[in-house]
Structure 1
Amino acid sequence: MSTSELTRAIRTYLDHLSVERGLAANTLSSYRRDLRRYAGHLDQEGIDRLDGVSESTVSDFLVRLREGDAEHPPLGAASAARTVVAVRGFHKFAVRDGLTTNDPAASVRPPTPAKRLPKALPLSDVEAILEAAGAAGTPLAARDRALLEVLYGTGARISEAVGLDVDDLDLEEGTVLLRGKGSKERLVPVGSYAVEAVQTYLTRARPGLVAQGRGTPAVFLNSRGGRLSRQSAWAVLAKAADRAGVTRDVSPHTLRHSFATHLIDGGADVRVVQELLGHASVTTTQVYTLVTVDNLREVFATAHPRARA
């Protein structure tokens, strides 16, 4: 297989991911970048056929990722792992599609990133931020309070929250339809505080904002009547945290982490939290159980008479 044929094979794989697997645009962009770098590695090694790729070729590529080169800085374990996953997926697809009989990447394991515990806010900080968001009593303040209540009340990603349309809300049933990664939809419950904040915003504030624009189905609008952007939503949270006197770094993802951590701490089953967060694998969600274990360990260390050194 020549280099041009290799390029076509990669393009075919990316088309497969886009059309048949429905991967999100950002994920596809990452795969495209990773496989372009891999193709460059094969070219440097003088390999122009898929059958010419060996396990050591893929392993050497992983080493280069971690060490870096003149054109690329060294990659951390998480970034290198993502790239290796892209390469493994490509070779597996090539075998399944009949482009080759050899899968040289099957035994090359991605590096394991160090487990990082999610940063969750204490409930008191979350409540202070929510109160601060709506304190001004203006239409934009009503929007801000509703937005942050939805983020914390559903565990939504920031892109899912700003992507909400009015028809995605069923406030009588207390549910919200979220569209996650790869256009996957999930129906999640939303609590009474968020329902009340959203109802207040929809009836008292959103009509005035709609009048500033050309009409849009978006739930959360900017001052010009258009859909609120992710950057603006991020700024809403930053300002509310500042007004609330919460000094640690707070992002929309912090509210998502807090949502999950508070559920686990409250006794929720990890698989229920997985469904609410829209995680494809329960393994992704299980990191939140580590937070609970840490909390238990701290309580044990301070409360048990035989735990102290």
Structure 2
Amino acid sequence: MHDATPLAAGLRGPFEGFLRHLELGRGRSAHTVRAYEGDLVSMLSSAEQDGARELSDIDLALLRRWLGRQSESGLSRSTLARRTAAVRSFAGWAVREGLLETDPSLRLASPKRHQHLPEVLHEEQTRRMLSGLADAADDGDPVAMRDAALVEVLYATGIRVSELVGLDIDDVDLQALTIRVLGKGNKERTVPFGVPAANALVRWLGARRALAIETSGSALFLGRRGARLGQRQARDTVDASLRGLGDTAARGPHALRHTAATHLLDGGADLRSVQELLGHSSLATTQLYTHVSVERLRSSYVQAHPRA
């Protein structure tokens, strides 16, 4: 925790003020705040080694030396880009708060991230996976029914695994076929789902009482011992289903999020609608999936066209 961070008082005060801003003013998650904390400790510790004792001592040359050290330590481009973005956010906040007269990070260049196209399932693979889960649920095992509903919901809605495990029973409207989701930054959105997911949810809700205990509360998905299902358990469930296909490198709940978005765009959904569905704050994030769709189209073209 940042309480034990060894920094000069003139650096520590702004550092802690920025973390409070993230926690209270911006409503960022504890995970996000910890990521910012680590990135800023890296920069501020480097600055202190170079003689900085106050925030005003940090200039562009000092930031470039820090970034050079980071690069020499073998960090990936994506990590370097993330750390640079964290420093820019911190410096911008400090200027707005009057702690700095000018922003020394404005001309700080960082390596561009490698843009990896996410692994997605083809529609046939998706049908095979969901059919296998439904068949396993036919035996009446409540855990198998839960797993079938869990994967159906992830694929039907494209929600994040953190959003999935946070769902309560009352968040599901089986009449309107919608789910109320609390996303990043505590932003609430309503996401539609289809009849197959609804059927899987009805079956699971009928079996849920077999796992429920006194302290289960209103959690939609439960673990084997009756507590709210955790993210790790959800990931394990999805990974097992994906491995069972035997013909994909896709892994984890995020692969189903990628798959849902790609299939929507393949089917003709507009980019703004997919952005709203996924809860992306920036359309640029959603545009990644257009590249996936084009890449899939090109692959099909090369395989099928006689003059490709």
TM-score normalised by length of structure 1: 0.91
Residues 303 and 202 from structure 1, CA distance in 2 versus in 1: closer, same or farther, beyond 3 angstroms? closer
SS in 2 for 1:125: helix
Per the TM alignment, residue 49 of structure 1 is displaced from its structure 2 partner at its CA by 2.1
SS in 2 for 1:176: strand
> Does 2:109 correspond to 1:109?
yes
Structure 1: stretches of 5+ with no match in the other structure: 69-73
Per the TM alignment, residue 101 of structure 1 is displaced from its structure 2 partner at its CA by 0.5
Report Cα offsets for 1:120-140 as digits up to 9, x if no partner.
011111122212223232111
SS in 2 for 1:134: helix
Partners of 2:215 and 2:97 lie apart in 1 by 48
The corresponding residue for 1:50 is 55
> Does 2:209 correspond to 1:207?
yes
The corresponding residue for 1:83 is 83
Counterpart AA for 2:133: A
The corresponding residue for 1:21 is 26
Partners of 2:204 and 2:31 lie apart in 1 by 31
Per the TM alignment, residue 303 of structure 1 is displaced from its structure 2 partner at its CA by 5.5
SS in 1 for 2:211: helix
Counterpart AA for 1:163: G
Q: Is the 8 A contact 1:132 1:244 kept in 2?
A: no
Q: Is the 8 A contact 1:142 1:200 kept in 2?
A: yes
Q: Is the 8 A contact 2:143 2:224 kept in 1?
A: yes
TM-score normalised by length of structure 2: 0.91
Q: Is the 8 A contact 1:135 1:141 kept in 2?
A: no
Question: Greater CA deviation, 230-239 or 280-289?
Answer: 230-239
Per the TM alignment, residue 224 of structure 1 is displaced from its structure 2 partner at its CA by 1.6
Per the TM alignment, residue 161 of structure 1 is displaced from its structure 2 partner at its CA by 0.8
Question: Greater CA deviation, 282-291 or 109-118?
Answer: 109-118
Equivalences for residues 199-278 of structure 1 within 5 A: 199-203=202-206, 205-210=207-212, 212-246=213-247, 248-278=249-279
The corresponding residue for 1:143 is 146
Per the TM alignment, residue 214 of structure 1 is displaced from its structure 2 partner at its CA by 2.7
Q: Is the 8 A contact 2:178 2:192 kept in 1?
A: yes
Report Cα offsets for 1:49-82 as digits up to 9, x if no partner.
22222212112222111111xxxxx211111111
Q: Is the 8 A contact 1:213 1:226 kept in 2?
A: no
Residues 246 and 161 from structure 1, CA distance in 2 versus in 1: closer, same or farther, beyond 3 angstroms? farther
2:194 aligned to 191, 194, 198, which one?
191
User: What fraction of aligned residue pairs are identical, expressed as a percent?
Assistant: 40
Per the TM alignment, residue 146 of structure 1 is displaced from its structure 2 partner at its CA by 0.5
The corresponding residue for 1:63 is 68
Report Cα offsets for 1:249-271 as digits up to 9, x if no partner.
42111111110111111111112
Residues 208 and 296 from structure 1, CA distance in 2 versus in 1: closer, same or farther, beyond 3 angstroms? closer
Residues 18 and 142 from structure 1, CA distance in 2 versus in 1: closer, same or farther, beyond 3 angstroms? same
The corresponding residue for 1:279 is 280
Structure 2: stretches of 5+ with no match in the other structure: 1-6
Report Cα offsets for 1:183-212 as digits up to 9, x if no partner.
222111111111111011112x012211x4
Number of aligned residue pairs: give it: 299
Q: Is the 8 A contact 2:47 2:63 kept in 1?
A: no
Q: Is the 8 A contact 1:213 1:224 kept in 2?
A: no
Per the TM alignment, residue 300 of structure 1 is displaced from its structure 2 partner at its CA by 4.3
SS in 2 for 1:286: helix
Residues 234 and 213 from structure 1, CA distance in 2 versus in 1: closer, same or farther, beyond 3 angstroms? farther
Counterpart AA for 1:5: G
Partners of 1:102 and 1:159 lie apart in 2 by 38
Partners of 2:48 and 2:194 lie apart in 1 by 55
Q: Is the 8 A contact 1:132 1:241 kept in 2?
A: no
Q: Is the 8 A contact 1:158 1:230 kept in 2?
A: yes
Partners of 1:288 and 1:9 lie apart in 2 by 38
Counterpart AA for 1:260: A
Partners of 2:214 and 2:237 lie apart in 1 by 20
Question: Greater CA deviation, 146-155 or 89-98?
Answer: 89-98
Partners of 2:243 and 2:56 lie apart in 1 by 58
> Does 2:160 correspond to 1:157?
yes
